Chain A
């Protein structure tokens, strides 16, 4: 292996390139740079009727549910697992909320019920993975396939197909605003802070990363892998529940078939763009949020640029591919080799 002295420009560049956190920032910067050129006035923020408006606010606003789900996903991925059922959990939550509102429960209690349902789903997934030792992709596939059906069934409990509801509390959380700032941003920040405290201010983060990084070593060092994995899936379920509350209240409807469709894919992408590895290990909470912002920034940028919205998916795919390829060591080595070869 060639050893470059760290002081040389090449060596430093390589060290920076190897730092996974660089890439989402670069991607975001590039996207904004292109925005600045293509859509003049992109960054303009104005205040209308006591609230902030603007593309940047829009990006933050729309990215919040995905970011929350991605945070839970990052934690699960850290244990070398994955949770494909988050979209279905969101569907179930929406149905549960609508059902209980129609049943007349106090809205604050309904919020708790919704979160509890998320925990229950997480418990189910955790049981399959930690106790039955089923591969996470397969285990969470079960709830993914049946979850939306369960949501539809719950809708039927009070005779509706796509029932709607009114809730000051929930709608306030989702679409309201606290002085200038959309409430959901505050909520998102609070969830992020809570997770950060949970992961970094207790030993849970260390245990999660240990189990995902090297489970044999973690075991010998006394970590209870089973409980740790349970915790991860519980947290993920809870995050999905919060996102479910926001999304359901956004449309104030229960639509189990299409709510949160493909959100699990966006969440996984956000985690990977943020530097997380699907084979477990380090959890980057902040970077994951950045990843979610990158994905949303792409979507918004395409919208404002005048490109037809259909381009969204393709551009998204390209960006993802490029980030992934650059993160791949093999490819980077091959590229550097060919470039340095040519220079000489």
Chain B
């Protein structure tokens, strides 16, 4: 069994274990209904996290995704108020996501500012822009959104695969193809694995860096679109704290925060694990929401220590 699939396997195992324990604890838990709900509720954040996976794979980080989600929703709601079709607004915001992300990537590369700080500024900028446009939630009234939310595919059992989940899964498929079957994807892994070597091997550094953040921006914008359509509103506080959840999803999905190792598909399961934990705890009326945070932190700790020993062993071999 190839070593590189190990982290992904670990994630899937944890997910299944959690799901099964849910089934043991609660009646009716082991159903596609619950699964479908988890997918639908977390679709927006998983989508954004997929984009973040690319950024983290290259050794960077993006703190602005939560604010992008909020900003996109707010703009779409306001465009809706002046008569735009939601799809048109969505397309515009996706383009904005690409441009904004690309700009962040350019600043990071050209000005040699660390990704943490640069995207932190992006976080403040977008969140602030949200508040400047709206302080309260604004509904999206266009009938398209309602019909979109109603779209769903029936699953065996009683569950439904809702439209938000469908969009997320499609975007995941595209991401998998980009990551594993394009030269760009190979370059991302190379830069994250060993930046100097990648440069010496001829990877176009600046273009790739800008493209990585642009891609990240696209996916966070898409996450914002999903959230806006799903909740039929533009909420300025949407996405607060989601950058953390996204990063946690990526790490739980088996991707190393140091870059170069990991799979986009893992992020799906990482996000689902977090969603599962939340659901499990909510199912139990007596357990406090605090347990979600503690459980999340503990899982993170276990995964990180596991990853550390895995990487330690083969980085050590390489440096003789």
Instruction: Name A residues whose Cβ lies closer than 8 Å to a Cβ of B.
Output: 82, 132-135, 137-139, 141-153, 156, 256, 265, 268-269, 272, 278-279, 308, 310-318, 320-321, 324-325, 328-331
Q: Which residue of B lies closest to A82 (CB)?
A: B116
Q: Per a CB cutoff under 8 Å, which of A152, A268, A321, A325 touches B290?
A: A152
Find out whether the CB atom of A153 lies under 8 angstroms from the CB atom of B132: no
Q: Which residue of A lies closest to B133 (CB)?
A: A310
- Write the nearest CB–CB distance from B306 to chain A, whole angstroms: 11
Q: Which B residues from 89 to 115 make CB contacts under 8 A with A?
A: 107, 110-114
Q: Per a CB cutoff under 8 Å, which of B107, B123, B251 touches A138?
A: B251
A-chain residues with CB within 8 Å of residue B123 when the two chains form the complex? 265
**Known contacts A312-B128, A314-B132: does B301 contact A324 (CB below 8 Å)?**
no
- What are 22 A-B contacts with C-beta separation under 8 Å? A137-B257, A138-B304, A145-B296, A146-B293, A149-B293, A149-B294, A150-B293, A152-B288, A153-B290, A156-B290, A265-B123, A278-B116, A279-B114, A310-B131, A310-B132, A311-B131, A312-B128, A313-B125, A315-B128, A317-B128, A321-B121, A330-B111
A-chain residues with CB within 8 Å of residue B293 when the two chains form the complex? 145-150, 152
**Known contacts A278-B114, A330-B112: does B301 contact A265 (CB below 8 Å)?**
no
Judged by a CB distance under 8 angstroms, whether B199 is at the interface is no
Find out whether the CB atom of A331 lies under 8 angstroms from the CB atom of B298: no
B-chain residues with CB within 8 Å of residue A269 when the two chains form the complex? 117, 120
Judged by a CB distance under 8 angstroms, whether B178 is at the interface is no
Find out whether the CB atom of B129 lies under 8 angstroms from the CB atom of A149: no
**Known contacts A152-B290, A317-B128: does B61 contact A137 (CB below 8 Å)?**
yes
B-chain residues with CB within 8 Å of residue A142 when the two chains form the complex? 297, 300-301, 304
Judged by a CB distance under 8 angstroms, whether B135 is at the interface is yes
Find out whether the CB atom of A324 lies under 8 angstroms from the CB atom of B296: no
Instruction: Name B residues whose Cβ lies closer than 8 Å to a Cβ of A.
Output: 61, 107, 110-114, 116-118, 120-125, 127-129, 131-132, 135, 244, 247-248, 251, 257-258, 288-294, 296-298, 300-301, 304-305, 308
- Write the nearest CB–CB distance from A251 to chain B, whole angstroms: 19
Q: Which residue of B lies closest to A278 (CB)?
A: B114
A-chain residues with CB within 8 Å of residue B290 when the two chains form the complex? 148-153, 156, 256
Q: Which residue of A lies closest to B312 (CB)?
A: A133
- Write the nearest CB–CB distance from B124 to chain A, whole angstroms: 4
B-chain residues with CB within 8 Å of residue A141 when the two chains form the complex? 244, 247-248, 300
Q: Which residue of A lies closest to B109 (CB)?
A: A330
How many pairs, one residue from A and one from B, have CB atoms within 8 Å of each other in the complex? Answer: 130
A-chain residues with CB within 8 Å of residue B298 when the two chains form the complex? 146
Q: Per a CB cutoff under 8 Å, which of B117, B128, B289 touches A314?
A: B128
Whole-angstrom CA separation of A146 from B296 in the bound complex: 7
Find out whether the CB atom of B297 lies under 8 angstroms from the CB atom of A143: yes
Q: Which residue of A lies closest to B111 (CB)?
A: A328
- Write the nearest CB–CB distance from A172 to chain B, whole angstroms: 30
Q: Which residue of B lies closest to A277 (CB)?
A: B114
- Write the nearest CB–CB distance from B282 to chain A, whole angstroms: 14
Whole-angstrom CA separation of A82 from B116 in the bound complex: 11
- Write the nearest CB–CB distance from B236 to chain A, whole angstroms: 8
- Write the nearest CB–CB distance from B304 to chain A, whole angstroms: 6
B-chain residues with CB within 8 Å of residue A265 when the two chains form the complex? 120, 123-124
Whole-angstrom CA separation of A318 from B122 in the bound complex: 9
New contact pairs (5) apart from A138-B304, A324-B121, CB-CB < 8 Å: A132-B308, A134-B305, A138-B251, A265-B120, A311-B128
Q: Per a CB cutoff under 8 Å, which of B111, B118, B124, B135 touches A313?
A: B124
A-chain residues with CB within 8 Å of residue B118 when the two chains form the complex? 324
Whole-angstrom CA separation of A144 from B301 in the bound complex: 11
**Known contacts A134-B308, A279-B114: does B128 contact A313 (CB below 8 Å)?**
yes
Q: Per a CB cutoff under 8 Å, which of B113, B121, B135, B308 touches A317?
A: B121
Whole-angstrom CA separation of A143 from B296 in the bound complex: 10
**Known contacts A132-B308, A135-B258, A314-B125: does B116 contact A153 (CB below 8 Å)?**
no
Whole-angstrom CA separation of A156 from B288 in the bound complex: 9
Find out whether the CB atom of A134 lies under 8 angstroms from the CB atom of B304: yes
Whole-angstrom CA separation of A311 from B135 in the bound complex: 11
Find out whether the CB atom of B257 lies under 8 angstroms from the CB atom of A135: yes
- Write the nearest CB–CB distance from B299 to chain A, whole angstroms: 9
- Write the nearest CB–CB distance from A228 to chain B, whole angstroms: 21
B-chain residues with CB within 8 Å of residue A82 when the two chains form the complex? 116
B-chain residues with CB within 8 Å of residue A312 when the two chains form the complex? 128, 131
Max count, chain A CB within 10 A of own CB: residue among B107, B118, B304: B304
A-chain residues with CB within 8 Å of residue B128 when the two chains form the complex? 310-317
Q: Per a CB cutoff under 8 Å, which of A256, A313, A330 touches B127?
A: A313
Find out whether the CB atom of B257 lies under 8 angstroms from the CB atom of A318: no
B-chain residues with CB within 8 Å of residue A321 when the two chains form the complex? 121, 125
